[in-house]
Amino acid sequence: MAIEISELIKSYGGFRALNGVNIDIQRGEIHSLVGQNGAGKSTLLGILSGRTAPSEGSVRIFGSELHYGDPRSSRKLGVATIYQELTIAPNLSALENVFLGQLLSVNGFISRKRMTKRYMELCAIMGVNISPLQRAGNMSIADQQMLEIMRGLQLNASILILDEPTASLAPPERKSLLKTIKTLQAGGITIIYVSHHLDEVLELSDSVTILRNGEKIVSQPRAYWTKDKLVSSMLGAEVAEEIVRVTQETQHEDTPPGPELLRATGVSVPGAIEDIAITLHAGEIVGIGGLVGSGRTTLVRALAGLEPKSTGTLWIEGKQVKWPREPGYPMSLGIALAPEDRKHQGLVLGMSCEDNINMVNFGQVKKLGFYRKAKAGHIADGLSKRFGLTRPIQTLCRNLSGGNQQKVLLAKVCNLRPKVLIVDEPTRGIDIGVKVEVLKILRQLANEGMAIVIISSELEEVIAVSNRVLVLSKGRLVKELSQRSEISVDHILQATF
């Protein structure tokens, strides 16, 4: 047995994040942990990785009990954790990232030759070809993910914990990573896989455990599971039926678009995108399709004034305005962006949910120069409920799960009441229940007259809500899909390559 978890309890005051959890994970298997945000997955991973100590219960790794709250103890027992938010040092090379904190030496001197040899061995094990000299900050998210895994393998990990590893990957990159995971399993490594992508869970897993409200609901071999069973076990039968209903409602009718709200032509950013045109009308959702690195995020950052070197021509409601080169100006025009990187670009993690939501629009919560705390709380409470935040609005954002951080970010940008809302990976790290609710909210906002641009690596989400899809490849607009019959995953991918 690789891992034995017995009667595990973790309490925070009167709240139990884990309540009597028992799980056995066999040596050499891929064991998936599935559940909504707040189900207890992050807490369990924190205990296994040594970051958190349980209140009661025990965890044994290959028969030896963990020294709780001690990450080094977990690593010595062969546990390596790859978190959803990567820990790459962008200014170091690929090789330096893999050997960060574990340099190899000969006769007391650092041996770059020995590290390079080991680096190439790790590349061969994983079936990747990444130059050891390449600067990590210039690499794709997919390649950075590979470096994280290589770092874990260099620690002689026999158990690899992967937390939402494909959350920001495009379909081809996701497929490549799943193949790598299977290769690692074939080499004898035990994999604990956490993902909201249920198709991946079914494709990869030998066993699946469902967590809900801090309790283990069921553990069964892969043969037992279907997607419907996973959803029902995660959410409960009544909620699962509601998800089906909401998904069907999200499929929109083809209604004529409203008046033009935004038109941009000749949008270019040196070395990234070139001569892209985009038009947005009231009441429509425009999806941006393409692989990671195709220029999707650069395009919307340019529209939001976050690319100072960008050029282009911009019209708002038919009137030509100056091209934005700082973020305050587009916000004054009614353009709001929920960025992909919520931790570094979207939220102030040391501030509360309430303050984050209100900081973009302090004008509505001040009177005679004084901050109206009650009004701010009322606004934040209403928006947090609309987006399904499951923690009090006074909670610091750094103490929220990734999913709840994303909900705060969406609430924050919607507090601007924008004419044009740009959402980059809006459902990244959000559980299936809230994911559908977010897509439904986007459709409702469009029905109220807002123009919305959506980028998502989950192309099915783009298809579900978009009236049109613009496909980007290598920094250029290569296709516009405007007919409902054209908007499909196959057509998007065909245009991409």
Rounded to whole angstroms, the Cα distance separating 3 from 64 reads: 9
Confidence class for position 104, pLDDT limits 50, 70, 90: confident
Domains by residue range for the chain, with CATH: 3-247 (3.40.50.300), 255-496 (3.40.50.300)
Using alpha carbons only, how large is the chain's radius of gyration in Å? 23
Of the candidates 166, 471, 475, 470, which has an alpha carbon nearest to the alpha carbon of residue 293?
475
Q: Strand 207-212 vs strand 215-221: parallel, antiparallel, or unpaired?
A: antiparallel
Confidence class for position 256, pLDDT limits 50, 70, 90: confident
Helix 141-154, helix 112-126: angle, nearest 10: 110
* pLDDT at res. 105: 85
Would you state the structure tokens that stand for residue 485, as one six-digit string? 């019959």
Q: For residue 481, with 0-12 CB atoms within 10 Å meaning exposed, 13-18 middle and 19 or more buried, which class applies?
A: buried
Q: Is the pLDDT of residue 366 over 90?
A: no
* pLDDT at res. 72: 87
Give residue for tokens 């010595």: 76
CA distances from 388 to 32, 168, 410, 418 (A): 25, 22, 11, 20
What is the chain's mean pLDDT, rounded? 87
% residues pLDDT > 70 (the chain): 93
Residue 102 CA from chain centroid, whole number: 29
In this structure, of 159-173, 289-303, 341-355, 366-380, the range with the lowest mean pLDDT score is 159-173
* pLDDT at res. 199: 86
Q: Is the pLDDT of residue 467 over 80?
A: yes
Would you state the structure tokens that stand for residue 419, as one six-digit string? 């004419």
Sequence-ordered alpha helix ranges (H) in 323-372:
328-333, 353-358
Q: Is the pLDDT of residue 463 over 70?
A: yes
Confidence class for position 386, pLDDT limits 50, 70, 90: confident
Q: Is the pLDDT of residue 245 over 60?
A: no
Average pLDDT over residues 95-99: 93
Q: Is the pLDDT of residue 258 over 60?
A: yes
In this structure, of 206-215, 217-226, 360-369, the range with the lowest mean pLDDT score is 360-369
Rounded to whole angstroms, the Cα distance separating 404 from 353 reads: 10
Rounded to whole angstroms, the Cα distance separating 103 from 99 reads: 5
Confidence class for position 249, pLDDT limits 50, 70, 90: low
For 111, half-sphere exposure in the C-beta direction (CA atoms, 13 angstrom radius) is 11
Check if the beta carbon of residue 155 is closer than 8 Å to that of residue 75. Answer: yes
Of the candidates 121, 172, 126, which has an alpha carbon nearest to the alpha carbon of residue 146?
126
* pLDDT at res. 242: 53
% residues pLDDT > 90 (the chain): 46
Residue 282 CA from chain centroid, whole number: 28
DSSP track, 41-90: HHHHHHHHTTSS--SEEEEEETTEEP-TT-HHHHHHTTEEEE-SS----T
Q: Is the pLDDT of residue 255 over 70?
A: no
In this structure, of 171-175, 196-200, 369-373, the range with the lowest mean pLDDT score is 171-175
* pLDDT at res. 6: 95
* pLDDT at res. 477: 94
- Cα distance from N-terminal residue to C-terminal residue, the chain: 44
Helix 432-447, helix 227-235: angle, nearest 10: 90
Of the candidates 203, 218, 200, which has an alpha carbon nearest to the alpha carbon of residue 432?
200
pTM for the full predicted model: 0.62
Residue 295: CB partners within 8 Å, gap ≥ 6? 269, 272, 273, 276, 472, 474, 475, 476
Rounded to whole angstroms, the Cα distance separating 299 from 288 reads: 10
